[in-house]
Amino acid sequence: MKFCPECGKDLNGSTKFCPECGINLNNLSQENIPQQEIKTEDYEPISDSEKPIIQKTTRDLGTRLEESVERIFKDRGYQTTRGQKIRGQSGQFNEIDVIAKRGSIALAIECKNYTEDRKVGIKEIRDFVAKLDDLNINKGLFVTSSDFSSDAMGWASNNPSSKQLDLWDGSTFMEQYKRVMLGRTDSKLSVIENSLLLKGTFDDYSILTLKNKDRVVIKRRELIFHPYYIVEFNLREQFKTPDRQIHTQQNSGKYFVDGLSGEILYSIDDKGHSPYDLDNMQKQIVRDLEDLSPTTIEVTQEPNSAVSKLDPSLNKKDIEFKVKTEIVRDNKTIIHYEVKISREKTEVKEYHHAPDINTITTRPRLVYVPKMEIEFESKENNYSRIILPASDVIIEDDIADCHHKLGLQKRHTFAVCEVCGIAKCEKDILVDEKDQCYCKDHASAELKEKTKGDSIVDKFKHFRFGK
């Protein structure tokens, strides 16, 4: 005790009585604060024997991050090499962590094993794209054990080089890693408990509206059930400030936690919601977890598809401790109180209080959120479509969204090039008299001249209806 709670006199060393007012300090420290009983009938107890299914996180992989990424792409049918130094057009050597090739498709992968509190920034993304430019590689993947800053994500999706650039944060990587190395994929899997209901099938989400969709093949279709925890909590405690006043603090709400990475996505309590830096998919997942109820579903295995149910990396006890620690941090308070500095004067002081973790009750629920991944391929280009079928929301659709923008609005692709397979919108596709589609890089000079100043819609009217 550094000052007397009765008169505010500063105290030096250990003393039994205040030299100013004479109060017995030992009696004060031994006083019991009356506590209101916390109801726990809704609390789901956790057995001491329950152990984490797997404690490995992306950070724990250490220098094996590149090796694990390579394994994922080998599982997808790619030929891979690690730690390759390649001379670029500039004459300089560029080191690429993983090169993945399948047919005429080349993918360069950069891996950064960062701590949770260190995000990949825009500089790292720009440097990676500069490597791709120098090596004339059009598609890249940036993998990190942590996360990306919002400006890095924005720049990646709208990079001036128009590279196909994908970003995997720690949660996305762990999902893919567990699916290949530790996840359970079972062709006979038919029942998933505690899952959000799917609104569509693989066939529903594999539809293409391209004019020459027969030039596109489906290379991979996978339905992944990703684990999340919804943790309801109740905080109620009483505590005493140094002026011997008793205060009551209470709060209740929910935390939404990624069951693979342990990342807290969102929280809402009696005071409102806490802002977190989330990407579009994480925002939609939180909405789905809030709005939709889990149930037991039957999964029908479809041809040329896979179903994976991923076990959480953290068990309920680990999640409870993580959430309780966050609740303590989020509910710190400052109480102002008065102390006497002399017989006539008082001074206002601050008392900083953090809740006792033992006064917090939690009730975790495990919910599986389905995510569908479809990979298309055309010539030397591949495309991904990512869907959250519980809410029928398409998160990413490389083959439907053209990189050629009209203001802030994306154009829809119209066809793929017969030569390179790149998907382009009407503005960038030229059609010859045989109804063959070409990008501007591969269209003949004659076709370019013929279609100069002519709209694609007018040309199709002419070709199809003879007008």
What does 367-388 look like in DSSP terms, one character per residue?
A: EEEEEEEEEEEETTEEEEEEEE
Considering the domain architecture, whether residues 16 and 76 belong to the same structural domain is answered as no
Separation between Cα atoms, residue 462 and residue 446, nearest integer Å: 18
Residue in this structure with the two tokens 């001379």, named with its chain if needed: 87
The alpha carbon of 371 is separated from its chain's Cα centroid by a whole number of angstroms, namely 12
- Residues 112, 145 contacting (CB under 8 angstroms): yes
pLDDT at 33: 37
Answer yes or no: is 316 within a domain: yes
Considering the domain architecture, whether residues 343 and 233 belong to the same structural domain is answered as yes
Answer yes or no: is 392 within a domain: yes
Considering the domain architecture, whether residues 99 and 246 belong to the same structural domain is answered as no
For residue 424, give the H/E element and its range. strand 423-424
Cα–Cα distances in angstroms (integers) from residue 129 to residues 123, 140, 321, 382, in the given order = 10, 8, 40, 18
Residue in this structure with the two tokens 């006539």, named with its chain if needed: 344
Considering the domain architecture, whether residues 231 and 155 belong to the same structural domain is answered as no
Nearest to 135 by CA among 169, 102, 110: 110
Number of domains in the chain: 4
Answer yes or no: is 2 within a domain: yes
Considering the domain architecture, whether residues 362 and 234 belong to the same structural domain is answered as yes
Considering the domain architecture, whether residues 20 and 62 belong to the same structural domain is answered as no
Residue-number span of the structural domain to which 294 is assigned: 188-398
* Tens digit of pLDDT at every position of the chain (467 positions): 345 554 445 565 556 556 655 555 555 444 443 433 333 333 333 333 333 444 445 555 555 899 999 999 998 889 999 999 999 999 999 999 999 998 888 899 999 999 888 999 999 999 999 999 999 998 999 999 999 998 999 898 888 877 889 999 988 998 888 888 654 455 555 789 999 999 999 999 999 999 999 999 999 999 999 999 999 999 999 999 999 999 999 999 999 999 998 999 999 999 998 877 888 999 999 999 999 999 999 887 777 888 889 999 888 999 999 999 999 999 999 999 998 888 889 999 999 999 999 999 999 999 999 999 999 999 989 999 999 999 999 999 989 988 665 545 668 999 999 999 999 999 899 999 999 999 999 999 999 988 776 554 554 544 444 43
The 3-state DSSP class for residue 56 equals coil
Considering the domain architecture, whether residues 155 and 200 belong to the same structural domain is answered as no
For residue 154, give the H/E element and its range. helix 150-157
Answer yes or no: is 405 within a domain: no
Considering the domain architecture, whether residues 264 and 335 belong to the same structural domain is answered as yes
Final residue in a domain of this structure, among 132, 153, 182: 182
pLDDT at 51: 39
pLDDT at 465: 41
Answer yes or no: is 34 within a domain: no
Separation between Cα atoms, residue 121 and residue 142, nearest integer Å: 12
Considering the domain architecture, whether residues 78 and 203 belong to the same structural domain is answered as no
CA dihedral (313, 317, 320, 321) positive or negative: negative
Considering the domain architecture, whether residues 89 and 223 belong to the same structural domain is answered as no
Considering the domain architecture, whether residues 356 and 214 belong to the same structural domain is answered as yes
pLDDT at 453: 61
| C-beta atoms surrounding 231 within 10 Å | 23
Final residue in a domain of this structure, among 142, 167, 182: 182
Helix axes 65-75, 170-177, angle to 10 degrees: 60
Considering the domain architecture, whether residues 389 and 434 belong to the same structural domain is answered as no
Answer yes or no: is 33 within a domain: no
